[in-house]
Structure 1
């Protein structure tokens, strides 16, 4: 496939191929070698040569479990006087493929076999490495001290890519004289993410063709495919080594369900995403060809006005269908991006429901023992004779052992917490069901307050780390004639934008939290929804462009520039409403959505002279 013209269809095909590189492998080292070789051979330039002279796969791995030769290499890179420790992570070269013979064997690498992550300061001495970690969106502390908790929180989502569009003379890419310039390296691209151990896998492409930001963004999905190929071999990393390079950190009963759930989630996410991408890519290509043919017909047959008008109407109908399909694709993509957050939101109440159930199970056994003693005491009392003192003593001892006073207080709380957890899971599942429901395509009377509440619940993981959400709903707002699933998409896009704007101010929640305020009200025959944030505000120079398709100021992988464009299309084009904004630099932005309560007919009537 041509790397210079890498598109959605290529991404879908390569994603499926990467998931299969583990077939026949016995360890992660085999998978890494196969993946590097596959990318080296299949990504080509305009002359059908390998587009990437060098492709490499790295894994952060504990020093104490490295083979002896890699331990010796890692020690040789440490500063004078510094000593390694068993858990010290080393960026370990597992796979390599390239133009030169020595680039096709891990053991032949001169300077990158095992780079020790001795400290944040030491990592900072490698500009490309430290910037790669930052562009991924991972803190250096999480790389130096990985954990399962980090994977459970972050493992279900895709990470940003590391992208250097112009590698020549870039301070981020070393070996300019010996490698970059002689081999005409134009761009560098890295992608990867965390494994269940918390360690990070990284694939790096050194390309002789320029890699655009749009192409780089497509590799976020490929990182998930590569993860699926590597996860089965996380316990056996090297081809020559102990039966398990890593001891299990979880019991098999805990680990297997966890990994099965993670793999199933990733497979579902990738399958849906790739199917939508493939279908939309094919349809857009067909429709594009139809548009070109229609334009040629219009130019060649200007005299046949009636026939030309008919063709034009057909093409407009095709375009509307394509726009509708793009909206569906965007919605499915949103659901896919929310999936990991929803899983995380459900996991927490499920955990304490399980904990309380186990507590009640153990308590029941203790109470059964106590009841047995009371039964004996009751039998003695029924016989009419004096109750033996020893029997009374046994009852009292049993009561103390089960700590009845403590259980009398804790058991109702356990039931209450379990019910709250079940209600929380039911609320999340119900919200996701309502949000995902595509409807019949026809407009229906919709409770906007309830629809907004549903979307806020579904998007909880998108904003909870950076903001608090305050709602001020008009209880007297009447139902509005609209397509509920499209309105939900507008609210979701505005909430995500607000969270991103606040995140730029509070730096991911490290500097406190901002506030997202959602208000509803009625203004005559119009329903008004306001979504405000305490973010950075919109610079005056770009305010006229924010509703343009594909216009974004966000980093690669954080936004596609379609959210506000789709919101405007839904509100204005499909519902005859308006969407405007008020903004002030340093204080925040408020988006105002106005919908005619009775549908487009109200809007059209008000536009009449």
Structure 2
């Protein structure tokens, strides 16, 4: 175990190769995401409180339980009618953290999926809005229902989401970017970061988000671009073969 700030070039490269081996023969994107989360969390648990892997996936591709969760979430916001088979959903695929329920996605109650119904809806969720914008996924395509743009444009991008201090950082409206402040306080969360990248020719976009107990610089989070590149390389065949979720 080590801290992210202590990763030198050789250690960072070794971890990249280790995570690539861990996901090499994964039978689904979900399985690969869980192996990634486990491998990297165990290696960097001196820093990481929680590590999660999400993917933007069409609603029709979700397991039945996830579809019902997303529909209920939409209905609670009076937007249930906006859900369609093509609605993009930011879906939790892999998770590891200090709490037992954070180590299996089906036990992560309340976080199985966030429907990207409209730019207005997403803008109402400060962390997700900032995350998508900073990793390079502009929100206007949601209103146009232009899911094809994910594969055409975002597939070649790998931006970085960065929040220096989760307890104090606010957006342009004065809202805490990390809204779950009890979680931040209880676990001493400082820096939150994320990287992402899409798969050319598909509507799937994968995002890695880390919640750290120490202060991580923007330069140190840049190294996780290599993680998303290796993750995509190992899972492209799974995505294009439609093997998103485990049976």
* Equivalence for 2:10: 9
- Deviation of the 1:11 alpha carbon: 2.6
CA RMSD, 1 decimal: 1.8
Mapping 1:36-435, distance limit 5 Å? 36-45=37-46, 51-78=47-74, 79-80=77-78, 82-83=80-81, 84-142=83-141, 145-147=146-148, 150-156=150-156, 158-170=157-169, 171-177=176-182, 179-196=183-200, 197-234=202-239, 235-240=242-247
Give unmatched runs, 5+ long, in structure 1.
46-50, 241-609
- Deviation of the 1:28 alpha carbon: 0.9
Q: Indicate if the aligned counterparts of 2:29 and 2:238 stay in contact, CA closer than 8 A.
A: yes
- TM-score, normalised to structure 2, is 0.87
Mapping 1:556-571, distance limit 5 Å? none
Aligned partners of 2:55 and 2:230: how far apart in 1? Answer: 16
SS at match of 1:137: coil
Q: Indicate if the aligned counterparts of 1:40 and 1:52 stay in contact, CA closer than 8 A.
A: yes
Q: Structure 1 residues 154, 89: closer, same or farther in 2, change over 3 A?
A: closer
Greater Rg by CA: 1
SS at match of 1:155: helix
Aligned partners of 1:211 and 1:90: how far apart in 2? Answer: 29
Aligned partners of 1:65 and 1:85: how far apart in 2? Answer: 11
Aligned partners of 1:191 and 1:67: how far apart in 2? Answer: 25
Aligned partners of 1:139 and 1:18: how far apart in 2? Answer: 29
Please identify which structure carries the higher helix content: 1
Q: Structure 1 residues 110, 169: closer, same or farther in 2, change over 3 A?
A: farther
SS at match of 1:180: helix
- Deviation of the 1:153 alpha carbon: 4.4
Q: Structure 1 residues 219, 142: closer, same or farther in 2, change over 3 A?
A: farther
Give unmatched runs, 5+ long, in structure 2.
170-175
Q: Structure 1 residues 192, 21: closer, same or farther in 2, change over 3 A?
A: farther
Q: Indicate if the aligned counterparts of 1:59 and 1:201 stay in contact, CA closer than 8 A.
A: yes
Aligned partners of 1:33 and 1:105: how far apart in 2? Answer: 8
Aligned partners of 1:167 and 1:81: how far apart in 2? Answer: 29
Aligned partners of 1:116 and 1:150: how far apart in 2? Answer: 15
SS at match of 1:239: coil
Aligned partners of 1:202 and 1:97: how far apart in 2? Answer: 15
Deviations 1:173-216 (A, max 9, x none): 12112x11110111101011111313211111111111111101
Q: Indicate if the aligned counterparts of 2:57 and 2:203 stay in contact, CA closer than 8 A.
A: no
- Deviation of the 1:161 alpha carbon: 0.6
Q: Indicate if the aligned counterparts of 1:18 and 1:229 stay in contact, CA closer than 8 A.
A: no
Q: Indicate if the aligned counterparts of 2:150 and 2:204 stay in contact, CA closer than 8 A.
A: no
Number of residue pairs the alignment of both structures matches: 232
* Equivalence for 1:294: none
- Deviation of the 1:154 alpha carbon: 4.7
Moved over 4 A (4+): none
Aligned partners of 2:154 and 2:168: how far apart in 1? Answer: 34
Aligned partners of 1:194 and 1:108: how far apart in 2? Answer: 26
Aligned partners of 2:112 and 2:150: how far apart in 1? Answer: 26
- TM-score, normalised to structure 1, is 0.37
| More contact order relative to length (CA 8 Å, sep ≥ 6) | 2
